[in-house]
Amino acid sequence: MDLGLNGKTALVTGASTGIGRGIAIALAEEGVKVALAARRRALLDEVAAQIVAKGGAVPVIIECDLMREDAAAEISRAALEGLGSVDILVNNAGGSRKFSLDTGEEQWNEALTLNFTRQRQLAHKLLDQMISRGWGRIVNITGKSEPEGINGAFCAKAAMHSWAKGLSREVGKHGITVNSIPPGRIISEQILRNYTPEYRKWQSEHEIPVGEYGQPEDIANLVCFLSSQRGRYITGTVIPVDGGLRKYQF
């Protein structure tokens, strides 16, 4: 299926590993020129080399720290300078850790900044140039809505879903779609670090209907479709990609 993405441009945050890396490579394979943003330059260089080796355009590399107050302004400026325009924004960067009842304000602020505020700011920095061309795609990689306990990232992801839905209603008339993808268990550096092989095997057999953890490509495939003209009538949605792990129908 020709998605018609050849010649488009995209900014992918958190592009150095895991899901973000998979998304950046998949978009590049569709002919999209990408800007890769993340903290670790060496890993970004690896992704860029892989894209070029596959015949993709040389990516724009943006080394950044989302906790810097001016991060959204710096990333958007670098992406626009390097690409000329940004047709597709993939908000993938973020992080999660379990909180306790006495977790302090600093950790709460960090979770909300990393998982909501910077993504919102970055989108709004890029909206005007999307509106001026009458075309744009914003895809947010978020998280599940069934927390086992207190987790600042879960709260931030819920805010992302609400903000994205509201934004989609404002910008649809400009040819811009806004969608969110909560991943399930997708093999990544973080998953391999946090879950033992034994637990991954048990969960695959007992909790994931399709019987295995997903791969970054499983998320990337949906991102490419939502980013294309074929996905033009899909907006304001939250579409889990989790092999059926989510237990609720809505």
| CATH code (residue 63) | 3.40.50.720
DSSP-derived 3-state class of residue 60: strand
What is the gyration radius of the CA atoms in the chain, in angstroms?
17
Sequence letter at residue 216: P
Q: How far is CA 135 from CA 77, 87, 195, in A?
A: 19, 7, 40
DSSP-derived 3-state class of residue 141: strand
Q: How far is CA 51 from CA 24, 27, 46, 139, in A?
A: 8, 10, 9, 21
**76, exposed or middle or buried, with CB in 10 Å at 0-12, 13-18, 19+?**
buried
Q: How many domains does the chain have?
A: 1
Range of the domain at 71: 9-231
3 inside domain: no
51 inside domain: yes
Beta-carbon neighbour count of residue 115 at 10 Å?
Answer: 28
Beta bridge partners of 179: 139
Please give the sequence-ordered ranges of beta strands (E in DSSP) within the chain, or none if there are none. 9-13, 33-38, 60-63, 88-91, 136-141, 176-181
State the pLDDT at residue 151. 86
State the pLDDT at residue 250. 64
Return d(Cα 126, Cα 117) in angstroms, integer.
15
238 inside domain: no
Q: How far is CA 186 from CA 30, 76, 78, 127, 167, in A?
A: 22, 28, 29, 30, 27
247 inside domain: no
CB-based contact 218:24 (threshold 8 Å): no
194 inside domain: yes
192 inside domain: yes
DSSP-derived 3-state class of residue 28: helix
State the pLDDT at residue 2. 87
240 inside domain: no
Residue that has been written with the tokens 């779609």 in this structure: 177
Angle between helices 18-29 and 41-53 (to 10 degrees): 30
Please give the backbone phi and psi of residue 77, each rounded to the nearest 5 degrees, phi first: -65, -45
2 inside domain: no
250 residues of the chain, pLDDT tens digit each: 789 999 999 999 999 999 999 999 999 999 999 999 999 999 999 999 999 999 999 999 999 999 999 999 999 999 999 999 999 999 998 877 778 899 999 999 999 999 999 999 999 999 999 999 999 999 999 987 677 788 888 899 999 999 999 999 999 999 999 999 999 999 988 889 888 999 999 999 999 999 999 999 999 999 999 999 999 999 999 999 999 998 776 6
Q: pTM for this one?
A: 0.95
